[in-house]
Amino acid sequence: MGADTIAGRHSVVRVRTHVMSCDATVVVTFDQESIDGDDLAGRAVARLLELEQRWSRFLPTSEISELNATSGALRCVSPDTFCLVEALVRAWHVTDGAFDPTLLGAVVHLGYGTSRERADLMTSLAPGSEHRGRPGAILVRATDRCVVLPPGTTLDPGGLGKGLAADLVVDELVASGARGALVEIGGDLRVSGSAPTGSAWPIAIADTDDVVEIADGAVATSTTSLRTWTKDGTRRHHLIDPSTLESSANDVETCTVIAGTGAWAEAFTKIAFGRGAAQALTEYEARGLAASITTSREVVTTSRWEEFRR
């Protein structure tokens, strides 16, 4: 973990760290007279590590791993994990299945069962785990924060977990007195409040020359160029098409979506990898989303993208 202070309208602390198998950045703007920015940033990093311990599919003691190992049984979970499961199920509904959190079996079957950073950390699937589960049948009971996964159904928090972690930590930083906050984890980013300079946070978009400005909201980028491997002579990546249970093979290479939260932005990027650039653009336009899609031929954007482009 490294930190540096940036000059600007407010006192600013930036911390770089590594969490959830990704490089991550936390930026906090604050009033020096009343807030300890270094303490806030340190607590944010500790919180991200705590969420990783609860949500990682590579850790046998995580709540997600325990849920997956006991599918079919009622399990009560922490508020964080209940929030995650609710978000995963809701995203499946809202995207009409383009985002599917129950493809862990397919991902492992295709060859991504071991952590890319530690060979001793492996996803363990219980006997009877399906390549694709039944997200619509997942029970989430708010009265006591209990969850039941249908038999054979397993959850992979994936990118939505990163986006949700950014959401939670940014909201907590602002609630703790920060003037503004940014949390970015492997391409999923959430901002809120006062930026270090200017009225909005400038965000460079991967694989393009674009820079967008966001005052309060989120940006998520998903790409087929990262988390790749070869199995049986075929190049694979981690973005699975729910209709084929194979790595997405349409024309989309990278998709970026701007939304109100990191969790929603991340979920909506999956529309492009499941349905292709042309259909995704139509759906994004219908939903009023700002989105940018990179294919092998061009970069295409929705009409609302121009509202954010600097």
CA angle 257, 259, 265 (to 5 degrees): 55
C-alpha–C-alpha distance, residues 181 and 276, integer Å: 34
pLDDT at 34: 83
Name the residue type at position 179. Answer: R
Question: What topology is assigned to 220-308 in CATH?
Answer: T-fold (3.10.520)
Using a 10 angstrom Cβ sphere, with 0-12 exposed, 13-18 middle and 19 or more buried, the burial of residue 79 is: exposed
Those residues of the chain that have pLDDT short of 70 are: 1-9
C-alpha–C-alpha distance, residues 168 and 279, integer Å: 31
What are the residue ranges spanned by the domains of the chain?
2-55+160-199, 63-156, 220-308
Question: Which alpha helices (H) appear in 158-297, and where do they start and end?
Answer: 158-175, 262-275, 277-287
pLDDT at 110: 94
44-88 pLDDT, tens digit per residue, is 999 999 999 999 999 999 999 999 999 999 999 999 999 999 999
Sign of CA dihedral 101, 104, 107, 109: negative
Beta-carbon count within 10 A of 120 CB: 7
pLDDT at 1: 43
C-alpha–C-alpha distance, residues 157 and 207, integer Å: 25
Q: 196: which 2 tokens?
A: 């270090």
pLDDT at 206: 85
Name the residue type at position 283. Answer: E
Beta-carbon count within 10 A of 276 CB: 18
Please give the backbone phi and psi of residue 84, each rounded to the nearest 5 degrees, phi first: -65, -50
Examine domains 63-156 and 220-308 and report if their fold is the same: no
Non-local CB neighbours of 282 within 8 Å, separated by 6+ positions: none
19-46 pLDDT, tens digit per residue, is 999 999 999 999 988 889 999 999 999 9
pLDDT at 3: 44
Superfamily holding 63-156: ApbE-like superfamily (1.10.3980.10)
Three-state secondary structure call for residue 123: coil
pLDDT at 159: 92
Q: 2: which 2 tokens?
A: 């490294």
